[in-house]
């Protein structure tokens, strides 16, 4: 027998409309009634007909999520947070991986709109690109994760402060030649971290040297390649700051192959504090970010937009902090074995 709303209503002893509202988490239905209805629906094996519901309500009950690199645990954890919120509300999430390619990003935005998603969450490549501006002005509700100009809600962290914390720590333990494998130059967050790097150097009276910085790093492959590039150029450095943990992992692998000891020869700092950072053979000093919480917060912002709710706080800036582990040490000091 096909389980319908009417079957559940008869079993619980309420009207079909009450069942329908309860399954959509309607706020005026009591939590006790919602719980009872969901238990009965699960017991009977009820599966909602999303297509039929969409035809009646003119809604798709889907949202899009576009991330820069799904292979990076940072973005995977953001996706977990987004999916957790929307699945609890009966929504499906279309996950798209732009792979730091603005053209792929553009195509995904238009594809999601063709699929009639109700909203989009995006970790975008560059907020000033035409397709992002078009999405802002003409598309469905959307929430960027990272900084965004104007009055559109967004979720971000203080990238300037995070980088400044990391560099000031290295400076405080004696390092003066600090190389930086920075993120893509078109990413606002990456450029904010460069700003924090420069501000920390200035505070300590250390002149900025362009030779110590290489841009366009996002993956372990980039970290490996550009660590080798620093050596090839003959650049002298005692510490290395990396755009993210994956870049740091690649740099660590290159250092090991070249016989350079971490942290005895070079102190190494990452960014994000993904789970793998603490599990490496030399646990990584890194800047912690609330990864899953960013996804949850962005999803809640978008859900409020879909429900027509007003929020007094449109831009949510989340805290980050430096986590010190074994990949860094004071300059000139031997590490106890």
Mind listing the pLDDT tens digit for each residue in 51-98?
Answer: 555 545 567 899 999 999 999 999 999 999 999 999 998 899 999 999
Residue 279 sits at the vertex; the CA angle it makes with 231 and 157, to the nearest 5 degrees, is 80
Categorize the per-residue pLDDT at 337 as very low, low, confident or very high, splitting at 50, 70 and 90. very low
Question: Which CATH architecture best describes the domain 159-289?
Answer: 3-Layer(aba) Sandwich (3.40)
pLDDT for 83-138, tens place per residue?
Answer: 999 999 889 999 999 999 999 999 999 999 999 999 999 998 888 889 998 998 88
Average pLDDT over residues 322-336: 83
CATH number, span 5-48:
1.10.260.40
Task: Provide the whole-model pTM.
Answer: 0.82
**Dist CA 218 CA 292 (whole Å):** 19
Average pLDDT over residues 236-242: 98
| Residue 336: how many other CB atoms lie within 10 Å | 5
5-48 against 61-156+291-318: fold identical:
no
- Which one is predicted more confidently, 148 or 181? 181
**Dist CA 271 CA 274 (whole Å):** 8
Categorize the per-residue pLDDT at 195 as very low, low, confident or very high, splitting at 50, 70 and 90. very high
CATH number, span 61-156+291-318:
3.40.50.2300
Q: How far is CA 124 from the centre of its chain?
A: 10
- Which one is predicted more confidently, 212 or 22? 212
- Which one is predicted more confidently, 145 or 22? 145
Element (H or E) spanning 110, and its range? helix 102-114
Q: Could you tell me the residue ranges of all domains in the chain? A: 5-48, 61-156+291-318, 159-289
- Which one is predicted more confidently, 327 or 188? 327
Whether the pLDDT of residue 9 is over 90: the answer is: no
Q: For residue 46, what pLDDT is reported?
A: 80
- Which of the residue ranges 6-15, 81-90, 167-176 has the most confident prediction, judged by mean pLDDT? 167-176
The per-residue pLDDT of the chain, averaged, comes to 91
**Dist CA 156 CA 158 (whole Å):** 7
Average pLDDT over residues 250-256: 98
- Which one is predicted more confidently, 7 or 203? 203
- Which residue, 294, 297, 328, is CA-closest to 313? 297
């Amino acid at each position: 027998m096909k389980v319908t709303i009417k079957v559940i209503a008869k079993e619980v002893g309420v009207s079909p409309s009450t069942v329908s509202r309860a399954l959509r988490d309607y706020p005026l239905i009591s939590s006790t009634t919602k719980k009872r209805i969901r238990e009965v629906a699960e017991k009977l094996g009820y599966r909602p007909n999303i297509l039929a519901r969409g035809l009646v309500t003119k809604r798709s009950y889907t949202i899009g999520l576009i991330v820069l690199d799904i292979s990076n645990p940072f973005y995977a954890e953001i996706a977990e947070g987004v999916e957790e919120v929307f699945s609890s509300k009966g929504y499906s999430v279309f996950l798209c991986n732009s792979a730091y390619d603005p053209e792929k990003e553009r195509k995904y935005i238009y594809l999601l709109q063709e699929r009639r998603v109700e909203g989009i969450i995006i970790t975008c490549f560059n907020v000033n690109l035409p397709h992002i501006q078009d999405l802002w002005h003409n598309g469905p509700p959307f929430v960027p994760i990272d900084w965004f100009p104007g009055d559109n809600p967004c979720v971000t962290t203080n990238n300037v402060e995070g980088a400044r914390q990391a560099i000031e720590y290295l400076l405080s333990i004696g390092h003066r030649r600090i190389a930086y494998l920075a993120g893509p130059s078109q990413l606002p967050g990456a450029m904010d971290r460069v700003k924090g790097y420069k501000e920390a150097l200035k505070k300590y009276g250390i002149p900025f040297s362009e030779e110590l910085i290489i841009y366009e790093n996002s993956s372990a492959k980039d970290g490996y390649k550009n660590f080798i590039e620093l050596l090839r150029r003959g650049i002298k450095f005692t510490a290395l700051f990396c755009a993210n943990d994956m870049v740091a992992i690649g740099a660590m692998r290159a250092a090991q192959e070249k016989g350079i000891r971490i942290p005895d020869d070079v102190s190494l700092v990452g960014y994000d504090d993904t789970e793998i950072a603490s599990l490496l053979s030399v646990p990584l000093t890194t800047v912690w970010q609330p990864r899953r919480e960013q996804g949850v917060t962005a999803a809640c912002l978008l859900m409020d937009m879909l429900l027509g709710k007003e929020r007094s706080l449109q831009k949510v800036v989340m805290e980050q902090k430096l986590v010190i582990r074994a990949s860094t040490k004071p300059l000139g000091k031997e590490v106890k074995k």
